[in-house]
């Protein structure tokens, strides 16, 4: 195992260099293979993960908690009512207290600034389980899934269709770091953050990749090796859901969009899915859909992240 990540936090995709990101992916591959062979790997025996949740989750909680158990450690779930970040006590105090108890902190929050504050004040590694700006653990699992299906990442075209949200942001960074060509198609007014676009394009210029954003779905998805989508309205945007349905009509992964992609294009969705909106059920169950491989890889990718950060 490499030790260059020990003690580090993972708040943004750009916290890892291309070489470090590949170290995580290769570690995830090795841990997954050991798990399939029935080989135990108690690499974090005696260690504790504190999990802070402002948002409920299926995959994030179960994958982190199961992963810590498989690594021989222990995970503690802290619900929104257990820790009222910035209300009952300051984020700084929470970070300092949890650092005295736990070896790792994972936080799934609304504001990205909360995860950044936790990482700034904690004396143990902090992992971003999701924020309104980024979803880096998800994208590590996504890259692992594409690598498994295509045997490479560099040079592949990934087309993301839908909202320019936290998933889109981390995909742009992750694709840039691994030399992929990422195209993001959104309705007008829902494009990704411009600063993130510029930064990811700058990274891509050093890895042989590219990042493009536009509104024409068919053009941006043409000849894609991977088609990726996410919900049109994220958690916390429920009051916008109806209005978004009208604006996002046509930004759906379906048979029509698959017809402009490569014949062997892999279909991805980070879940939960709203079938009939961003993807239809039939497409999600096609042989080239890797949605549930992708969900499984959250477990293996996050185990790799925890092992490399906790040492």
Residues involved in catalysis:
108, 135, 138, 230, 270, 298
- Tokens 């999600």 found at: 284
Residue 281 gets the label, from left (phi > 0), alpha (psi -120 to 50) or beta, of alpha
210-214: strand order across its sheet: 210-214, 181-185, 157-161, 226-229, 266-269
- How far apart are alpha carbons 169 and 149 in whole angstroms? 22
Q: E strands of 71-174, at which residues? A: 74-78, 104-108, 126-130, 157-161
Q: E strands of the chain, at which residues? A: 48-53, 74-78, 104-108, 126-130, 157-161, 181-185, 210-214, 226-229, 266-269
Q: Burial code of 170-180, b = ≥16 C-beta within 10 A, e = fewer? A: bbbbbbbbbbb
Tokens representing 7 are 């003690």
- Residues in the chain, total: 311
Backbone φ and ψ of 152, nearest 5°: -165, 170
Taking each helix axis from N to C terminus, what angle separates 91-101 and 112-121, rounded to the nearest 10 degrees? 50
Closest by Cα among 10, 59, 25 to 270: 59
- How far apart are alpha carbons 299 and 263 in whole angstroms? 29
């Amino acid at each position: 195992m490499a030790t260059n990540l020990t003690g580090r936090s993972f708040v943004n995709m750009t916290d890892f260099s291309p070489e470090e990101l590949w170290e995580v992916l290769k570690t995830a591959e090795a841990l997954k293979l050991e798990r399939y062979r029935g080989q135990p790997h108690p690499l974090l025996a005696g260690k504790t993960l504190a999990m802070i949740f402002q948002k409920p989750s299926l995959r994030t909680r179960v994958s982190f908690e199961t992963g810590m158990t498989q690594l021989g450690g222990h995970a503690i779930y802290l619900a929104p009512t257990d820790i009222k970040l910035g209300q009952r006590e300051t984020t700084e105090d929470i970070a300092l207290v949890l650092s005295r108890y736990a070896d790792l902190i994972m936080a799934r929050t609304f504001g990205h600034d909360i995860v950044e504050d936790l990482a700034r004040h904690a004396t143990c590694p902090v992992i971003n389980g999701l924020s309104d700006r980024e979803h880096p653990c998800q994208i590590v699992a996504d890259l692992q899934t594409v690598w498994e299906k295509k045997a490479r990442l560099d040079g592949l075209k990934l087309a993301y269709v839908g909202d320019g949200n936290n998933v889109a942001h981390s995909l742009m960074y992750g694709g840039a770091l691994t030399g992929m060509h990422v195209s993001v198609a959104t309705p007008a007014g829902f494009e990704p953050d411009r600063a993130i676009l510029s930064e990811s394009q700058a990274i891509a210029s050093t890895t042989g990749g590219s990042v493009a954003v536009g509104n024409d779905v068919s053009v941006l998805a043409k000849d894609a090796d991977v088609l990726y989508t996410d919900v049109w309205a994220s958690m916390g945007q429920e009051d916008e859901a109806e209005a978004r349905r009208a604006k996002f009509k046509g930004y759906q992964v379906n048979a029509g969009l698959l017809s402009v992609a490569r014949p062997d294009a892999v279909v991805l969705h980070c879940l939960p899915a709203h079938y009939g909106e961003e993807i239809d059920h039939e497409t999600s169950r096609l042989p080239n859909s890797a949605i549930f491989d992708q969900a499984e890889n959250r477990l293996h990718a996050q185990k790799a992240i925890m092992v490399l950060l906790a040492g």
